Structure 1
Amino acid sequence: MRVSDVRVETGERYQLISITGEVRRAVREAGVEDGFCVISSTHTTAAVTVNEDADRDVPRDLAAACRAFLNALDVRFDHAEGNSDSHLLTSLFGPSQSLLVRNGEPDLGRWQGIFLAEFDGPRTRTVRVAIGEA
């Protein structure tokens, strides 16, 4: 198994940033034709998700929906750092995604891309990409 890190700079509190190109590059550099790829956030306030990457409005819409979702909750967060909303969203989205590798590429659908979902930005984030053979 080969593991590499992708560094991501975020600029907003809630933001989805495509890392599809970086993950594709990591898979190609690993030289695995058929296998698996795990993409994992090393943070408790940032997640990894797969969604549409063809229309730039989708990541912005998802970030806006996260804000609206949190605003609609009738809950008081007591965490001293003031970012329990970020921990909640990360738990809902999940810290990682697993993909098949086929013909030396992440097995994504036509419109799919891989995103770091930032919920406590702006920050510098690390996404770990592990590629192995089946």
Structure 2
Amino acid sequence: MFKTFTLKTNKHSDMIEITNQIQQWLTEELVDSGVIVVSSMHTTAGITVNENADPDVKTDFLRRLEEVYPWEHKKDRHMEGNTAAHLKTSTVGHAQTIVIDKGQLVLGTWQGIYFCEFDGPRSRQFHVKVLR
């Protein structure tokens, strides 16, 4: 089972929680157990699992990535000027694997799945593949 999701990002850098979209689709498709792979289709946007209770975590996460990978660096040579976005995506990763049990994503109490935008705003896609 496979699905492509589309979303529109509104900021240059953002973390958009996609947990509920994925869980709703799994429920509609009556997926009881297995594993999903959630994958970004972009070299400047990633997927991560992180805290979804305190919004300051997202703010701090993005700020710290910006500190490590500032948008402009005098030695960057990539002609599009988005080297920082590529580095952030490689650091965060383009995919995550999550277990499904009894129809539910197996995540910790404070965990959510996030689409991480590093070069927006844009129209983006991510894929979810169910492995049973």
Aligned to 1:86: 85
Residues in 2 aligned to 1:115 and 1:12: alpha-carbon distance in whole angstroms:
15
Q: Is 1:128 paired with 2:112?
A: no
Q: Is 1:28 paired with 2:27?
A: yes
Identity across the alignment (%): 37
Q: What residue identity is the alignment partner of 1:52?
A: E
Across the two proteins, how many residue pairs are aligned to each other? 132
**TM-score of the superposition, structure 1-length normalised?**
0.91
Residues in 1 aligned to 2:58 and 2:22: alpha-carbon distance in whole angstroms:
18
Q: Which runs of 5+ in 2 are unaligned?
A: none
Superposition CA RMSD, Å: 1.8
Q: What residue identity is the alignment partner of 2:68?
A: F
74-83 or 84-93: bigger deviation: 74-83
In the TM superposition, 1:1-134 aligns within 5 A as: 2-71=1-70, 76-133=75-132
Residues in 2 aligned to 1:41 and 1:19: alpha-carbon distance in whole angstroms:
12
Q: What residue identity is the alignment partner of 2:38?
A: I
Residues in 2 aligned to 1:82 and 1:103: alpha-carbon distance in whole angstroms:
45
Residues in 2 aligned to 1:113 and 1:20: alpha-carbon distance in whole angstroms:
6
1:75 deviates by 6.8
The ranges of structure 1 where at least 4 consecutive aligned residues each deviate by more than 3 angstroms after the TM superposition are none
1:132 deviates by 2.5
- What do residues 43-101 of structure 1 show as CA deviations (whole Å, max 9, x unaligned)? 11000000001111211221111111123x97721000001111111111110000110
Q: Per the alignment, in what secondary structure is the counterpart of residue 121 of structure 2?
A: coil
- Contact 2:39–2:126, Cα closer than 8 Å, also in 1: yes
**TM-score of the superposition, structure 2-length normalised?**
0.93
110-119 or 74-83: bigger deviation: 74-83
Residues in 1 aligned to 2:8 and 2:31: alpha-carbon distance in whole angstroms:
28
Q: Which runs of 5+ in 1 are unaligned?
A: none
